[in-house]
Structure 1
């Protein structure tokens, strides 16, 4: 398969299917969380859409990163959480309903905010000779087509054919994870000789961003006096980004391989770091229950 077909057709189509799967699992009642628990939802949105990009920018500055690689870190931070965050919230015994609501809301908002933020960070981090012109309106429309449209179609199918949607939900989620591994594997294979250099450039920064954002999201929720389950959901939601979307933006919309480095390195590590974080939080809850029982 030619690289151009993979980047321009297969990758966006696969993201469309992944977002369709997200929509298949959603129903209007999932958005009632905004009214039922507005504080938790508002905090989650602020943490993911404001705190996370600020944290990413500070990490970029700390590493002295510039150019396309630095912009790639920012693209990763600007992307919403994926369905993986919902799975890890479940494993951590967190508030799954809150996790799903945050994933859905940010996924619906991101197509309109991400292109504007990318343009801003490119102007800040790239020299004039490196700057890539990004048609904002066209990019917004493209992101709407590959994210909001399939989510809407999925929700419509769920509403009309709930049993079929329920059956299709699990295979699509499995496809999501397998396809991400496939894309990452192909990128690694095509750049095998440069992976050590790429990891040195952006890999460590991406991993630090992943871990720091999970921890800070969790701490922020605890400081705001949210309960343990909500704090877990926000920590994981802020720490998990849609790596597939970040790769699509870098390779398909911006056509820049260096901008996909951070998302690729991140996708290789997030399953491990996320699992460790989820296990630590789950054990904290278990010990808290045991302590309460003994008392």
Structure 2
């Protein structure tokens, strides 16, 4: 039985890698741009924002760690709401999640290793247990136990809603006293600034002439860049960096969910980024029309 499970996991992993390879060969830019935005531009942005706001050492490492994790699964739903490229979102989230086993500990050690000691190997092991094993189990069940999956399908939207609410609410509840402290309240502006810039950076980097993407892909890359697995960051911060370092991910998980879904609804209702000035200043829109 164990051999069958291991063999199935290996086969599914090879199939997924093969799918990524096909996409890269057919249209290499969207996935590459999204991956670079996720693991190159966003970690740099996290360090820049933390230093620009003079963030205390109590929260610095946890804030930077939040910028180094994979894209959130919720970004796929946001891409659907925004009328973006859902297939690209799923593939980008899956590939960054798989890569997180190696990339997140590497980036964390590189960016905050001089501030807080980071056990990269132990962090990789923890990510493997928390993220990849459940995903692999889900893929195995979906491939070899269709009857079970079909039986559970009707209740899964409700389960997903409850789990999402718990993932957003539990970090706040656990870190409530620290968030409401004087130092915790000072995190609000850095967290909001980070996410606004991440959404913006993800969108505009895909509009650079040399990397220019279709509007659907640009929306997806923006949402995947601005919405990251803050719950995973909180778990890693608590386990490896100390309980106070889990406060920035706790604030981030709420900010990225609300801001990401609002942005997705904005796009989904037919609005565009370039329409924002005319909505904020109606007189400006009237003047342009005249």
State the TM bucket, normalised to the shorter chain.
0.7 to 0.9
Task: Map 1:233-252 to 2 at 5 A.
Answer: 233-252=220-239
Are the aligned partners of 2:79 and 2:223 in contact in 1 as well (CA < 8 Å)?
yes
Match of 1:276 in 2: 262
What are the superposed Cα offsets for residues 223-245 of structure 1, whole Å, 9 maximum, x if unpaired? 22210100000000000011110
Distance 1:81 1:286 in 2: 22
Match of 2:124 in 1: 140
| 1:161 is aligned to 2:148 | no
Higher relative contact order (CA 8 A, sep 6+): 1
Match of 2:8 in 1: none
Are the aligned partners of 1:115 and 1:139 in contact in 2 as well (CA < 8 Å)?
yes
Are the aligned partners of 1:184 and 1:268 in contact in 2 as well (CA < 8 Å)?
no
Match of 1:215 in 2: 200
Length, aligned pairs only: 254
Which of 175, 188, 194 in structure 2 is aligned with 1:203?
188
Change in 2 beyond 3 A, CA 1:205/1:105: same
Are the aligned partners of 1:73 and 1:202 in contact in 2 as well (CA < 8 Å)?
no
Task: Map 1:97-112 to 2 at 5 A.
Answer: 97-112=87-102
Distance 2:273 2:256 in 1: 24
CA drift of 1:30 comes to: 6.2
Distance 1:248 1:185 in 2: 13
Distance 1:151 1:34 in 2: 23
Match of 2:160 in 1: 173
| 1:73 is aligned to 2:63 | yes
Cα RMSD of the aligned pairs, angstroms, is: 2.6
What are the superposed Cα offsets for residues 39-63 of structure 1, whole Å, 9 maximum, x if unpaired? 1000100011000011111111111
Unpaired stretches in structure 1, ≥5 consecutive residues: 1-26, 289-295
Match of 1:292 in 2: none
> What SS class does the counterpart of residue 66 from structure 2 fall into?
helix
Distance 2:108 2:183 in 1: 21
Are the aligned partners of 1:33 and 1:97 in contact in 2 as well (CA < 8 Å)?
no
Q: Which has the larger radius of gyration?
A: 2
CA drift of 1:219 comes to: 1.0
> What SS class does the counterpart of residue 198 from structure 2 fall into?
helix
CA drift of 1:73 comes to: 1.1
Distance 1:51 1:59 in 2: 12
CA drift of 1:273 comes to: 1.4
CA drift of 1:171 comes to: 4.5
Match of 2:4 in 1: none
